Structure 1
Amino acid sequence: MLIYKSRVFDLYCMDMSSRHTPFEYVGHHGSCAALVLDKSDENNEVGLLAHHRPAIGRTLFELPARTLVPGRAIEDVMRNELYENTGLPIVARQLSKLTALYTSPGYSSELLTIFLVQLTRQQRQAADALRWFSLPELNRLILNQEIIDLKTVAAITAYQAVLWKGEGDEVL
């Protein structure tokens, strides 16, 4: 049963006869994010945005991301997000799916799809909104709890797993 409807999510209550209390969960349209990669040198640098997050009162370095819009193709939503936040016009062939995961399956149906976006040298030079980090830097920042956004940590981990497996540019 729908309890509350918002612009981003809906709150549902489900009667679970085997439980003492009803089960509440967040219904979500899903989201997408992009691991923006510059492979023009051998550093495999990743571009992150600085976003102020009022819920925790901090500014975080994280992937560009957007909640999905029902009826719009996920790739179009991702390209639009990248253009709005970085000014980068991304063509379809630059997007490849890296992974998809549920953000908090204990209480939410949100499925986050993470794309890999490989920039050209010219795009990298024009991407003023992004701050660039090497993979070793990102690992250090994650371990020091300076990068604490879950989607960003998951994307970096997934990308490094692809590199470790030796698939190079091939992703899911």
Structure 2
Amino acid sequence: MTDLPRLLLVDDDEVFCQVLERALGKRGFQVIVARTLEEGLAQATRLTPEYAVIDLRIGHDSGLVLVQKLKELDVNTRIVMLTGYASIATAVEAIKLGAVHYLTKPADADEIVAALYKESGDPNVEIKEKPLSVKRMEWEYLQKVLMEHGGNISAAARALGMHRRTLQRKLDKRPVRE
């Protein structure tokens, strides 16, 4: 048995998991990998990790659910939400649910470790000079409405007055940069 701190890594990207598992292992963690929401919850229940790195989108599931479940199991688990689909709405929800940080992909192991250990906010974070583009604002709004409806695409589509498949198509696209 090892005395290294346990870190649960939940992401559906196999190659990304392999690379990050190796890198975090070299940085002093015992890494437990899960590729689905259910597997992540099972591992967390069995091992009670001190740290977790959770992808926002795990297949068709929301990693936010796992953040909430991990905090219910142990309020001291330090969680970083990692995503290629960043939005203000999901960042706010991740923090409210108990994540200590929210990082966008690509993030390297050093950034992730720094985020796991970060104890407070940074008042010197850069404030953008340019407002968000109309396309980015639309994407952010869709994310907000989706979160308000508990991640239910059908309910969010009804609230937005659009067809469910149209909303799915818009959400499946990577967010436009600012």
- Tell me which of the two structures has the higher relative contact order, counting C-alpha pairs closer than 8 angstroms and 6 or more residues apart: 1
Q: Work out which of the two has the higher radius of gyration on C-alpha atoms and give 1 or 2.
A: 1
* Higher strand proportion (structure 1 or 2): 1
**TM-score (norm. length: structure 2):** 0.23
* Higher helix proportion (structure 1 or 2): 2
